[in-house]
Structure 1
Amino acid sequence: MSMIRVENLTFAYPSSYDNIFENVSFQIDTDWRLGFIGRNGRGKTTFLNLLLGKYEYQGKIQASVQFDYFPYPVSNKDRLTTDILSEVCPLAEEWELLRELSYLEVREDALWRPFFTLSNGEQTKVLLAALFLNSGHFLLIDEPTNHLDMKARETVSAYLKRKKGFILVSHDRCFLDGCVDHILSINRSDIEVQRGNFSTWFTNFQRQQGFELAQNKKLKKSIATMQKSAQRTSAWSDRMEASKYGNGPVDRGYIGHKSAKMMKRSKSVQIRQQRAIEEKSHLLKNLETAEDLKIAPLLYHADTLVTFSDVVPVFDGKDVCRPISFSVKQGERIALDGKNGSGKTSLLKLLTGQQTDHRGTITIGSGVILSYVPQDTSMLNGSLSEFAKTSQIDESLFKAILRKMDFSRIQFEKKMEDFSAGQKKKVLIARSLCEQAHLYVWDEPLNYIDIYSRMQIEKLIEEFSPTMIFVEHDLAFRKNIATRTVYFSIT
């Protein structure tokens, strides 16, 4: 057991407008299983890179362990998996790798297949297994769930619970609850460490939020009283000074002397009052706000919007899954479930016209308007204003939604290619919320999205009940949102 100590850490990117971290101090035990949470753009991945020594910073980071980072970069995916893993963990024996893979429910033959033939989920699992075989290392795991289906998430969460000595960045609440024993949270003004899983942390967080909201009400009243008092003190001094120049005979020397004393006293009072105002304002350091979002779904004139009859997406001449049949009715929120590669995304692409090769029949009601959120964000570049114009949405509404999703005004001045992965995903969701549609088609919309925003989106959907068909592996989101689930089977 050893400690990782962070003292007075301050960091900003050279081209940035503000500090990401400012005089941050905390310490963590290298035996802990830490869940690392915080809003998008707060600096989670940046902090992992600071631990890895990638950037210069002010302050101190002291650690007696070597850090490894996941996802591990694989330069040549044509090589056999066993050769790649021997590079990741050169001291590990083959039997150790096979043992770890059995825990992760990966078949042994994966070791002797080219790495590129493994699914995204299998690649995630084998690299995690190899990295944990580096004895004495501390693992920095950055959002592993984005390539895992729901069953794989359960498997990896159970695997991580067997381990110790890692920081896990994830926004999946159930995944975190299954495997961490401490939470490292980036707040508005500091970083805190708490014992327990996500649910324990969130219960404490809500209590703290309730306390700060109550304090907020009291402090606003106190601050307003102080500000009025400061204004009265200043006006009182000004009136005394002005009296030197009134009509009739007056002792201007006496009044001037008295006025000077009052001005001095007034200035002293104002300084004390301003200091008190600032101190009270700083008490509201970690109050997180998430304003309610709105959406304006269109009502369709018929009960059924879309019907899939024995539909099979076809890729490279091969059937992707077994035939699928179901209808999407007004007000339904249908979750598509199945292993990675079972055809869920392909079906959504058929619905939106992104893909055409298929068997079976897709019947879309006349005049049905769709709003689509794709998995991929790589097309996002340029300014938000240009994106709003190209997307033919109201720019003011678009930016107002992003503000509610924790975008600072500084973000509006940046290019989208410089956004974090979660911020890019929020751009696509905000565009969809600006579009009036009969049917909202969302493909893994929550990838990289922070926990606060996930709950914010859940509340929106529960309130406005848009008709939806979506793919999402976040179990908590699915339980709260889906009215029905359609299951996919691989051929």
Structure 2
Amino acid sequence: MLSITNLSYYIGGRPLYEDASLFIKPKDKIGLIGLNGRGKSTLLKLINGDYTADSGSISKSNDCTIGFLNQDLLSYQTDDAIVTVAMSAFKDAVDTQRQIETILHKLETEYSDDLVEKLTKLQERFDHLNGYSMQAKAEEVLEGIGFSTADLHRPLKQFSGGWRMRVMLAKLLLEKPSLLMLDEPTNHLDLPSIEWVENYLRNYEGAVIIVSHDRRFLDNVINRTVEVTQQQLISYEGNYSFYLEEKELRKEIQQNAYENQQQKIRQTERFIERFKAKATKSRQVQSRIKALEKMDMIEEVVDDTAAVNFRFKFNQQPGRYIVTLNNVSKSYGPLEILKNTSIQIERGDKIALIGANGKGKSTLLRIVAGEEPVEGERVVGYNVIKAFYAQHQLESLHVENEILEELLQAGSGKTEQELRNVLGCFLFSDEDVFKKIKVLSGGEKSRVALAKTLISEANFLLLDEPTNHLDFISENILIQALQQYQGSFIVVSHNRYFVTQIANKIWYIEDKQIKEYPGTYEEYEFWRKKNELNNTEVKPEPKPKVEKVQPEQRPKAINNESQRKTLEKNLRKVEEEIEQLQAKKNKIELEMTQPEVYGDFNKMQKAKNEFNVIEDKLQKANAEWEQIAIEIDKLS
């Protein structure tokens, strides 16, 4: 359907892609992954034609249509109702409907048979285009991704950027292009909407490419993973979990291949050194020299898994209760968020606050933080020191400060080296710590703000969507930090993998009440689904099977490996023997130069006999070494 061949693209002389290739089939569900800044969004824009490749080609079949959801659509505004914007996906049907309305208006004053005939044909065409159902389809998709029925006829310009992005997503889903490209679609969706989109995309008839840092979303949608790494596109035939397992296997194979190649190089170099002066071996020596020159070098595996160790220090330990809310109510005019609800946070609680947008999660977080006035009672516990992280904290960073300077001014009392260590955990190393805040990407600013939050020595953290704009490595760092954190925290997040890793309690808002599930997210999800199915047995979804090669399927490889190891063991024994014989030979040669030996016929004769015996053994050992080396060479 679409083919990328030897693609190269440069930004300011720096290659994002070099001779990269990828083939996309009609029903592929591809997750495009990689570190921030590696060119994932750029690749989508190259495919869409927004950018032009420096070399190589991107070709598509004649019937291939492309729909592209990107962050640039956030700025789109119109006075049209959102259902009208979504229905613009049915362009032909909408145009036909307008023509029908025009003729109907004319017929009110200019009745004629020609107009009636034209109207009849247009109505037939409208019916053929499923025009009578397009509004119902648009409403279904819009409500599926979180809009209420009352919202459908509100103008698009009245909604925030995130909600406008949802409308554009709905329009794309309704257009049903043969290739649908989505850049971070879950950034603006709540959990119910994410689950709805997952189900929609799983059953989508065309191909899909998704750039996302939501692991659970990728696992539930994609059947193929493409990693952007080292200017290449590396494909894995499975979802994200399969990719992680397969990548570990490939890394192990690559490392073994690297070590085997290095051993082969050392053996070849020893062969060349030993026989380079021997005329009878000159052809074999030259052959090995050429083989070394032509050898494709295998790179040693570099482990990019970031493991971190945070040392959190609390000057004050809090009491048993962190924050207590008693009969709390919160309203914005006629809109009630909470009504006479009570809940308590205890020391050691690691709470994930989840649920649909518009239920009041961020409002509740601000209430807990004491930044939102409420009716009712909010009681802060003994010795509680809080730190609050939200996206607006990025705006409070001092843009003219360097990263290290920003942390030094945070007042944590930590030394420069301690702060460097913290920044190193957040992937700011060496000279990176002297970058100005103003030149950082959104993801880098998020990491700086998170680092400031974590060094505050607070014993209670409040985090609002902390994984937004973080790549997988940065997310992994935050997970490890929160797992090592000995204090209490409450996190608002729609990232299910993240929540699964860090929470021991789940909060959600239902019927204007704060509800608590006393367990992990996986336990909560099982309980919720069970309730939804009226207590019928819920079987967990099976994990994608990874086909493993059984030993009996590769006896030849195992036999070769076993044989190679035996030969290498024998080779080492022969090398030891050669070294011992060479040492004896050198010793006898030295003795034969002494006057008391070469001046005595009997002693000289005895030394010559010993020398000949050693020389004979050495020749045989060298011949044996050469033969074993050749056998190993055949197996490599």
Residue type of the partner of 1:90?
K
Among 385, 409, 424, the alignment partner of 2:404 is 385
- The SS at the match of 2:32 is strand
Q: Which residue of 1 aligns with 2:112?
A: none
Flag the 1:213–1:441 CA change in 2: closer, same or farther, 3 A.
farther
Q: Does 1:419 align with 2:419?
A: no
Residue type of the partner of 2:183?
D
Give 1:42 deviation, angstroms: 2.2
Flag the 1:356–1:405 CA change in 2: closer, same or farther, 3 A.
closer
Q: Which residue of 2 aligns with 1:456?
A: 477
- The SS at the match of 2:248 is helix
Among 183, 186, 194, the alignment partner of 1:145 is 186
Flag the 1:487–1:379 CA change in 2: closer, same or farther, 3 A.
same
Among 218, 224, 237, the alignment partner of 1:195 is 237
- The SS at the match of 1:320 is strand
Q: Which residue of 1 aligns with 2:308?
A: 292
| 1:267-416 alignment runs, 5 A limit | 279-280=297-298, 282-284=299-301, 287-298=303-314, 300-315=317-332, 318-353=335-370, 355-376=371-392, 377-380=394-397, 381-382=399-400, 383-393=402-412, 394=414, 396-407=417-428, 411-412=432-433, 414-416=435-437
Among 443, 446, 449, the alignment partner of 1:428 is 449
Flag the 1:378–1:464 CA change in 2: closer, same or farther, 3 A.
closer
Aligned counterparts of 1:411 and 1:28: Cα–Cα separation in 2 = 37
Can you give the 5+ residue segments of structure 1 that lack an aligned partner in the other structure? 234-267
Aligned counterparts of 2:257 and 2:374: Cα–Cα separation in 1 = 59
| 1:28-427 alignment runs, 5 A limit | 28-64=24-60, 65-71=64-70, 72-87=73-88, 90-91=91-92, 93=131, 95-96=133-134, 98-99=136-137, 101-102=139-140, 105=144, 110-116=151-157, 123-134=164-175, 136=177, 138-163=179-204, 164-188=206-230, 190-211=232-253, 218=259, 279-280=297-298, 282-284=299-301, 287-298=303-314, 300-315=317-332, 318-353=335-370, 355-376=371-392, 377-380=394-397, 381-382=399-400, 383-393=402-412, 394=414, 396-407=417-428, 411-412=432-433, 414-427=435-448
Structure with the largest fraction of helix: 2
Aligned counterparts of 2:220 and 2:164: Cα–Cα separation in 1 = 21
Aligned counterparts of 2:419 and 2:254: Cα–Cα separation in 1 = 30
Q: Is the 8 A contact 2:166 2:188 kept in 1?
A: no
TM-score by length of 1: 0.77
Flag the 1:486–1:433 CA change in 2: closer, same or farther, 3 A.
same
Aligned counterparts of 1:318 and 1:454: Cα–Cα separation in 2 = 35
The one-character-per-residue Cα deviations of 1:97-125 (angstroms, maximum 9, x if unpaired) are 53254256255554422225568776444
Give 1:82 deviation, angstroms: 3.3
Flag the 1:47–1:89 CA change in 2: closer, same or farther, 3 A.
farther
Can you give the 5+ residue segments of structure 2 that lack an aligned partner in the other structure? 94-130, 274-285, 513-636
Give 1:192 deviation, angstroms: 1.0
Aligned counterparts of 1:8 and 1:119: Cα–Cα separation in 2 = 37
Flag the 1:74–1:212 CA change in 2: closer, same or farther, 3 A.
same
Q: Is the 8 A contact 2:90 2:134 kept in 1?
A: no
Q: Is the 8 A contact 2:85 2:167 kept in 1?
A: no
For the pair shown, which has the larger CA radius of gyration, 1 or 2? 2
The one-character-per-residue Cα deviations of 1:271-307 (angstroms, maximum 9, x if unpaired) are 99x9899935x343x6423122414052624211221
Q: Is the 8 A contact 2:318 2:383 kept in 1?
A: no
Q: Which protein, 1 or 2, shows the higher relative CO under an 8 Å CA cutoff with sep ≥ 6?
A: 1
The one-character-per-residue Cα deviations of 1:114-152 (angstroms, maximum 9, x if unpaired) are 225568776444322311333545322111112222222
Aligned counterparts of 1:291 and 1:225: Cα–Cα separation in 2 = 33
Give 1:19 deviation, angstroms: 3.2
Aligned counterparts of 2:257 and 2:428: Cα–Cα separation in 1 = 25
Flag the 1:276–1:360 CA change in 2: closer, same or farther, 3 A.
farther
TM-score by length of 2: 0.61
Q: Is the 8 A contact 2:463 2:491 kept in 1?
A: yes
- The SS at the match of 1:391 is coil
Q: Which residue of 2 aligns with 1:447?
A: 468
- The SS at the match of 2:447 is helix
The one-character-per-residue Cα deviations of 1:308-330 (angstroms, maximum 9, x if unpaired) are 22233444575323344222222
Give the total of aligned pairs.
Answer: 444
Aligned counterparts of 1:115 and 1:352: Cα–Cα separation in 2 = 33
The one-character-per-residue Cα deviations of 1:334-356 (angstroms, maximum 9, x if unpaired) are 11123212222122223434x33
- The SS at the match of 2:338 is coil
Give 1:439 deviation, angstroms: 0.7
Q: Is the 8 A contact 2:318 2:381 kept in 1?
A: no
Flag the 1:340–1:399 CA change in 2: closer, same or farther, 3 A.
farther
Give 1:222 deviation, angstroms: 6.7
Q: Which residue of 1 aligns with 2:17?
A: 21
Give 1:369 deviation, angstroms: 1.5
Aligned counterparts of 2:477 and 2:264: Cα–Cα separation in 1 = 30
Q: Is the 8 A contact 1:171 1:451 kept in 2?
A: yes
Flag the 1:22–1:5 CA change in 2: closer, same or farther, 3 A.
closer
Flag the 1:80–1:325 CA change in 2: closer, same or farther, 3 A.
same
- The SS at the match of 2:391 is coil
- The SS at the match of 1:457 is helix
Aligned counterparts of 1:94 and 1:208: Cα–Cα separation in 2 = 53
Give 1:397 deviation, angstroms: 3.9
Aligned counterparts of 2:429 and 2:296: Cα–Cα separation in 1 = 22
Q: Structure 1 residues 150-159 or 323-332, which shifts more?
A: 323-332
- The SS at the match of 1:340 is coil
Give 1:446 deviation, angstroms: 1.0
Aligned counterparts of 1:125 and 1:214: Cα–Cα separation in 2 = 47
- The SS at the match of 1:127 is helix
Q: Structure 1 residues 28-37 or 435-444, which shifts more?
A: 28-37
Identity of aligned residues (%): 24
- The SS at the match of 1:166 is strand
Q: Which residue of 2 aligns with 1:247?
A: none
Q: Is the 8 A contact 1:4 1:63 kept in 2?
A: yes
Q: Is the 8 A contact 1:300 1:330 kept in 2?
A: no
